[in-house]
Structure 1
């Protein structure tokens, strides 16, 4: 039932798509806006979304009459906005004064940053190649990594300093824009 090679492949694929290390500057920036990120709640919410999509993804989208491509395009637009915010130093996602750390931990951290359109679409795609049990283990392993990174953002911020974070934020902003454009192009202009 469990296949180590499949688990390793799924884990690495999801790790690269989720890119939690690359999201560190965004998470630090959001933490500065709202004061605190609840790592446990963000990790659990992202995990619930990923497992739900593993089990019911296409059915959920079909229920709303949404295709995987439509979902991916919507996620790409949100990722694009986050990237633009990081590069240009503008504030698109304004903190809601009444928003709690819990709501910020869920949106935009759990979704769409961690369990975004790219991650959820990848999970649906992985089902065609790998067994559901091995994908589930890959998801759990990624959730452990996500939790560790979320818990370490204060330490990372201290180690990188203001200038290091600013440079990293802009670099990953460009990467986010690139990922958003790639997701958008792939789903608007699929290969013939």
Structure 2
């Protein structure tokens, strides 16, 4: 479960996403920020729960092997890892003060930043490896950290400063690179062993 916990921390990146949340929610009052954080985390958990319970069956139905999905997941994780290392944030974003908390919480927060392709792929992979309960526990812990990060984003931003948050995001990016490579190598290794 520890690997799942560390992987979801790197993939969901509560630290890096503080920057995104802060930029999008600067014009919101505290109640709207809490609402946006709640919606984003709840929607993300719902998506990841559904994928944990039915992701493997969906892959079987489509004729996609778990190994192929792991390789695809690893390849999908490489671009965000690169952006984290090079830019210190998940993606190029534009601040939009005209959005409502619901819009901003669902897109881009809940998806693709929290429950994006990498998190969905990792959910399926870890469900097969460590079981549904352990996977959902890891997801719940990381999403709880994410909620606290979002809820206290203004305070964290003032205390830590943008430079420190970008540095932490770059470190998370390096970890994400390693996880992506591990996903690809594991998938390729299993394919070669079964050939």
The verdict on how the C-alpha distance between 1:150 and 1:13 changes in structure 2, with shifts beyond 3 A counting, is farther
What's the CA shift string for 1:92-121, capped at 9, x where partnerless?
A: 844487984121012222322883322331
Aligned to 1:180: 180
CA distance in 1, matches of 2:174, 2:64: 29
Q: Which structure 2 residue ranges, 5 or more long, are not aligned? A: 27-32
CA distance in 2, matches of 1:81, 1:95: 15
Structure 2 residue 125 is matched with structure 1 residue 121: yes
Aligned to 1:5: none
CA distance in 2, matches of 1:117, 1:21: 10
Q: Which structure 1 residue ranges, 5 or more long, are not aligned? A: 1-9
The verdict on how the C-alpha distance between 1:42 and 1:126 changes in structure 2, with shifts beyond 3 A counting, is same
Aligned to 1:19: 9
Aligned to 2:80: 82
Structure 2 residue 132 is matched with structure 1 residue 111: no
1:62 paired residue among 53, 60, 63: 60
Structure 2 residue 166 is matched with structure 1 residue 162: no
* Bigger fraction of residues in helix: 2
Contact 1:79–1:112 under 8 Å retained in 2: no
TM-score (norm 2): 0.70
CA distance in 1, matches of 2:163, 2:92: 23
Aligned to 1:51: 49
The verdict on how the C-alpha distance between 1:188 and 1:155 changes in structure 2, with shifts beyond 3 A counting, is farther
CA distance in 1, matches of 2:177, 2:137: 30
Shift of 1:164: 1.2
TM-score (norm 1): 0.71
Shift of 1:148: 2.3
Aligned to 2:20: 30
**Number of equivalent positions:** 178
Higher mean C-alpha displacement, 181-190 vs 88-97: 88-97
CA distance in 2, matches of 1:34, 1:73: 33
Shift of 1:151: 2.3
